Amino acid sequence: MKHYIGAMLLLLTLLFTGCIKDINPSGMTIVIPASRLTQSLQRQFPVTQNTDYGKVTLKNPKALLQKGSDRITAGATVLFSNSLIPQQQGSVYVSGKPYFDAKTGSIYLNDPNIEKLDINGYKLGNFLNGSVANQLKPLINEVFRQIPIYKMDRNSIQGSFVKNVRVEDGNLLVTFGL
C-alpha cells in the first residue's frame, strides 16, 4: 500500500511539472533536459587532485545531449599546474552511457571516453601518450565514474521506482515503474 501511495504522489508531481514523455503499461518515462544535468554537476564541482606531475582541477561542468547518440557528454574546464610551469588551462569532454545506481539514487556515466582534451588551445586528442595527458586521462575517467551526472532527490521516492535510463533523440529518458 505504501508503494502505491508513493507511486501516485510521484505520478501527480511529474504530471504537474510537465516533464512526462510517455505513460504505458511498462511504466512512466520522463525527460531530464541537459540543463538539469548541468545544474546537478555544478553542485559537485570543482574537483581537485594532486598527481605526481602537478595539481589538476576540473571546474565549470556542463552536460550535452546530442541527437543520434546514446551517450551523455560532460565537459569541464581543466586547470593544470606544478612548480615548474605556470597554470595551464584547457577543456575536456567525456562521453558515457548512463546507468542508474539504486544505492545512491544517482545516474553515472558508464564506460567514459575522453572525446576532446585541449590545454592552452593545443588539442591533445592526438597526443594522449604524453606525460601530462597520461596523468589527466585516468583522473578524468575516475572523476566521471564517481561523480553522478544526476542525483535523484534523497527525500523523494523516485529512486526506488527507476526501471531504466537511456539517451534517445537528444534526451535523457528515465522510466519509472513498479
Q: pLDDT at position 14, please?
A: 47
Fold of 2-176: Bactericidal permeability-increasing protein; domain 1 (3.15.10)
Q: Assess whether pLDDT exceeds 70 at residue 59.
A: yes
**Helices in the chain by DSSP H: which ranges?**
2-17, 34-42, 131-146
Average pLDDT over residues 67-83: 92
What residues contact 115, with CB distance under 8 A and at least 6 apart?
73, 93, 94, 95
Q: With contact defined as beta carbons under 8 Å apart, do 101 and 108 qualify?
A: yes
Query: How large a percentage of the chain has pLDDT more than 70?
Result: 71
Cα angle at 71 between 123 and 157, to 5 degrees? 130
The arithmetic mean of pLDDT across residues 20-40, rounded, is 79
Residue 73: CB atoms within 10 Å: 21
Of 2-11, 29-38, 159-168, which has the strongest mean pLDDT?
Answer: 29-38
Domain ranges of the chain: 2-176
